[in-house]
Amino acid sequence: APLIWSLGLTQAALTLLLIICCSTQEYRAPPFIPNISFLWAWNIPSEGCAVNFNVHLDLNLFSLVGSPRKNARGQNITIFYNNRLGYYPYIEDKTGKVMDGGLPQTGNLIKHLAKVRKDIDHYIDVDMTGLGVIDWENWRPLWIRNWKPKDIYKNLSIELVHQQHAELNDTEAAKKAKADFESAGRCFMETTLKLVKDLRPNYLWGFYLFPDCYNGFKEIDYNGSCPDIEKKRNDKLDWLWKESTALFPSIYLSSKFESTLKAALYVRNRVLEAIRISEVHSVKHPLPVFVYTRPVFEDLVNTIGETVSLGASGMVMWGGLNVSQNVQYCTDLDNYLKSTLNPYIINVTLAAKMCNQALCQDQGVCQKVHSGLLSRQPSYLQQAIKPSCERCPPYTWRKGSSLSPKTKRCQEESK
């Protein structure tokens, strides 16, 4: 499709659309980078393609580029796995080895925070601006969400209570174990966020996979909706949303979706739940939502297209170490970028930008109101966007603050 087009609306009709559209009281976070209406980030260890095989990938469309490799430093997007930020207590999934206490209630929070300081200094320069993503997936902060195989954290927590309080019966021990686990887990996550925000206030910080809504694939009657119980559980994590300065949900697709409408339903509901959570603590100053996806998905319309059209702040492309393991992999990725991914990114980015300019006067983002495709065609703007522009208020970066009395109490309890 040509890049130059006319809006095809009379001035009066356009003015009416602007009044209807941009007078809604819903808000979205403003662009993280000025004049970049939708942020594209590349968090894939592809640097080996150029170094080892002289295959130079075209990543010019990505405002943020960073490798998740352990030896990568000074990047504007940095992901911290469980062994790269402090002393996160967990149990190795494959070996069962206990790491740094294993359970949050047996971890050493003081030692952990001291190590966090060193790790942040190692990986991120003081004055850098970017995204900081903490990827702690071994246990979940809500007790009830640690289902198999993560129930090992529940079982060991109950065993620990029995060891410390032999007088308690199983029901009493389980109740105390739940309280101890959730309190300690919250302390680890909450104080870590407070500290990294204080150390690198020009970064946006949050946890990967938060929020999640557990709307996985079902063979029959699948509508992609987030179960009400999971929304309520997300609401219980209000302390986490309060400390986060960005949200990083994931839309990784299972092979079961196979480019079907179910894929769009899956993605749509996950992104909408993240947008809902982004407004928990301030409707007028919502958190930016950066959605994780992978470049291996052929279904760009139902992943990237759906996410952009719903009003997210940006997308992060993530990939494993195998993307640059040989020249064929690198060549395939290069061809995919040139022939498929980059052209599609250009298309949806321009569509979003032109919609924002035409209907929201660059004061917000367009959000579609039905399941049609995001398009640069005038007819799409007339039919699909009318009531859905989201206004962006003046936004003040929420700087990281010093440790609060609650944080200090958590530290004392961890000794």
Instruction: Quick: pLDDT tens for 208-255.
Output: 999 999 999 887 889 999 999 999 999 999 999 999 999 999 999 888
Contacts of 349 (CB under 8 A, 6+ apart): 37, 38, 40, 61, 308
Q: Confidence band (pLDDT; 50, 70, 90) for 309?
A: confident
Q: Confidence band (pLDDT; 50, 70, 90) for 20?
A: very low
Mean pLDDT across the stretch 2-24?
Answer: 34
- pLDDT value at 390 more than 60: no
Helices (H) and strands (E) in the chain, counts: 14, 11
Would you name the residues annotated as active-site residues? 137
Predicted local confidence at residue 299, as pLDDT: 81
Cα gap 46→27, rounded to integer Å: 36
3-state secondary structure of 248: strand
User: Comparing 9 with 266, which gets the higher pLDDT?
Assistant: 266
| Residue 188 maps to a domain | yes
Q: Which pLDDT tens digit goes with each residue over 374-388? A: 444 444 433 433 333
| Residue 73 maps to a domain | yes
Contacts of 276 (CB under 8 A, 6+ apart): 231
Mean pLDDT across the stretch 129-153?
Answer: 98
For 65, the enclosing helix (H) or strand (E) is: strand 64-65
> Residue 131's beta-bridge partner residues?
77, 204
Q: Confidence band (pLDDT; 50, 70, 90) for 369?
A: low
Contacts of 38 (CB under 8 A, 6+ apart): 31, 308, 312, 313, 314, 315, 348, 349, 352, 353, 365
Q: Do the beta carbons of residue 262 and residue 222 sit within 8 Å?
A: yes
Predicted local confidence at residue 367, as pLDDT: 65
Contacts 24+ apart (CB under 8 A), 93-96: 93/138, 93/149, 96/152
Task: Provide the residue type at 247 as one letter.
Answer: L
Mean pLDDT across the stretch 151-175?
Answer: 98
| Residue 301 maps to a domain | yes
- pLDDT value at 198 more than 50: yes
Mean pLDDT across the stretch 85-90?
Answer: 98
The parent domain of residue 107 ranges over: 11-414
295: CATH: 3.20.20.70
Weakest-pLDDT range from 260-264, 332-336, 395-399? 395-399
| Residue 5 maps to a domain | no
| Residue 182 maps to a domain | yes
User: Comparing 372 with 162, which gets the higher pLDDT?
Assistant: 162
Predicted local confidence at residue 76, as pLDDT: 97
**From residue 303, how far is each of 7, 261, 265, 271, 291 by CA, in Å?**
26, 11, 10, 10, 10
Q: Confidence band (pLDDT; 50, 70, 90) for 26?
A: low
Contacts of 72 (CB under 8 A, 6+ apart): 45, 47, 66, 78
Our count of domains for the chain comes to 1
Weakest-pLDDT range from 45-59, 69-83, 400-414? 400-414
Structure tokens at 368: 């579609």
Structure tokens at 146: 């640690």
Arithmetic mean of pLDDT over the chain = 84
- pLDDT value at 197 more than 90: yes
| Residue 3 maps to a domain | no
Weakest-pLDDT range from 9-13, 287-291, 362-366, 404-408? 9-13
Mean pLDDT across the stretch 273-301?
Answer: 91
